Amino acid sequence: MLQWLFATLHLLALGCGLGALAARGRNLAPPLDAPALTRCLRADNWWRHSLLLWLCSGTGLAYYHAALLWQQGRPVPLAMAKLLGIVLLLLLEWRTRPLISQCRQRLERGRLPADELCRQLARHSRRQLLLLLLLVLLSSAWQTGAFNTP
């Protein structure tokens, strides 16, 4: 029962996160105005909450499926690729946080952020979105047993 709940939360968080990343990047497209930036920051809030839920539920699922991470005393290559992708996603998020903070501070002061800052944040959003889609692809390949050679 708990495993089913983790899986449900994991998929729900994944869907919300994909939509939030796409919205964050889309709302940073020029010409940027205050309402678009507000929508971008709201989408970022959704992304942060869904990322937290996604990581927590994924950790719960990994606990139940720990035996699938290792086969014949070796790590499963797709599982390790997925873990590497998660680390890369978290590193990108760590690099994105200061940019978001700058945007929030400028908006609170009644100013729009610089165009270069918005372009950089949009680039980070696209990279995170592509990486998250790659993680979905790796997860589905792993769960179906593709490329898992003995």
| In-domain check, residue 60 | no
| In-domain check, residue 102 | yes
Mean pLDDT of 104-129: 88
pLDDT of 126 reads 93
Residue 116 structural domain: 76-145
Question: Per the structure, how many domains does the chain have?
Answer: 1
pTM for the whole structure:
0.83
| In-domain check, residue 140 | yes
CB of 28 closer than 8 Å to CB of 40:
yes
Query: What CA–CA distance (Å, rounded) separates 139 from 147?
Result: 12
Query: What CA–CA distance (Å, rounded) separates 39 from 112?
Result: 13
Tens of pLDDT, residues 24-48: 999 988 888 888 889 999 999 999 9
Is residue 148 over pLDDT 90? no
Query: What CA–CA distance (Å, rounded) separates 105 from 142?
Result: 42
| In-domain check, residue 56 | no
| pLDDT band at residue 140 under the 50/70/90 scheme | confident
| In-domain check, residue 123 | yes
Which of these, 133, 122, 95, 142, lies nearest to 15 by C-alpha position?
133
| In-domain check, residue 35 | no
| In-domain check, residue 4 | no
